[in-house]
């Protein structure tokens, strides 16, 4: 085969890991021309450091959650998807801790700041300081600005229970109405209470980017 300059060779736009490159081994000793696959070359470069170039693995969101990995890099997408670092929480107290709960719309209002623009409601929870008995308490989260209920199945607190996390019927967020925008006003509506009402109410909402 006739000798060609490298600049005269055909270009390879998408090299494969098994493709071969020429490499000079032991340049400070007895230099020898050898071949190396693209995969092995990348492995040989190793991980990046402050003193050497190299490859770095991008962490996924669950690895970001763990928070103990010292070798992977964090992408904006993985950070936004983290259930620990990518979420923003807000807590509301519709009823003081010694006050009987009662039905009605607008038991509490809160405001969405610009830093939460475009986020989605991803988690809801309600907690009674003193549990109610007989029947259930049901709570709706309503976006007053967008005139839409954000839950297709309301938060439920069962008889004798303090928190909604043990409810027989878990809350379901309405995927069509879960988004919030700057200056949206969110309202807590209590649609039913126990026959012997619970006292005090804390409602926790979590938001993250879609």
Question: pLDDT class for 176, splitting at 50, 70, 90?
Answer: very high
pLDDT surpassing 80 at residue 130: yes
Domain with CATH 2.60.120 in the chain: 87-208
Question: pLDDT class for 94, splitting at 50, 70, 90?
Answer: very high
* Residue 51, pLDDT score: 59
Q: Where are the beta strands (DSSP E) in the chain?
A: 20-25, 32-37, 58-59, 73-74, 87-100, 104-111, 120-127, 137-143, 148-149, 151-153, 155-157, 172-173, 185-192, 199-208
Q: How high does pLDDT run on average in the chain?
A: 90
Alpha carbon distances (Å) from 103 to 39, 67, 167, 193, 198 = 65, 42, 19, 6, 12
Sign of the torsion angle spanned by Cα atoms 164, 166, 168, 169? positive
pLDDT surpassing 80 at residue 171: yes
Q: Where are the alpha helices (DSSP H) in the chain?
A: 38-45, 61-66, 76-80
pLDDT surpassing 70 at residue 44: no
* Over residues 44-67, mean pLDDT: 72
CATH of domain 87-208: 2.60.120
Distance CA 121, CA 128 (A): 21
Question: pLDDT class for 136, splitting at 50, 70, 90?
Answer: very high
């Amino acid at each position: 085969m006739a000798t060609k300059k490298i600049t005269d060779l055909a270009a390879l736009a998408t090299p494969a890991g098994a493709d071969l490159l020429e490499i000079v081994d032991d340049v400070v000793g007895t230099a020898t021309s050898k071949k190396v696959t693209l995969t092995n070359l990348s492995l040989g470069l190793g991980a990046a450091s402050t003193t050497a170039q190299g490859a770095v693995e991008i962490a996924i969101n669950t690895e970001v959650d763990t928070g103990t990995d010292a070798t992977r890099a964090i992408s904006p997408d993985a950070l936004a998807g983290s259930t620990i670092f990518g979420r923003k929480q807000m807590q509301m107290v519709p009823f003081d801790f010694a006050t009987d709960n009662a039905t009605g719309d607008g038991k509490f209002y809160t405001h969405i700041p610009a830093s939460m623009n475009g986020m989605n409601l991803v988690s809801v929870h309600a907690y009674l300081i003193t549990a109610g008995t007989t029947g259930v308490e049901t709570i709706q989260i309503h976006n007053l600005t967008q005139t839409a209920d954000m839950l297709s199945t309301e938060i439920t607190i069962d008889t004798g229970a303090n928190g909604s996390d043990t409810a027989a019927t878990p809350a379901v967020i309405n995927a069509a109405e879960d988004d919030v925008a700057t200056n949206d006003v969110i309202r807590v509506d209590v649609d039913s209470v126990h026959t012997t009402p619970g006292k005090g109410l804390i409602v926790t909402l979590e938001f993250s980017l879609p």
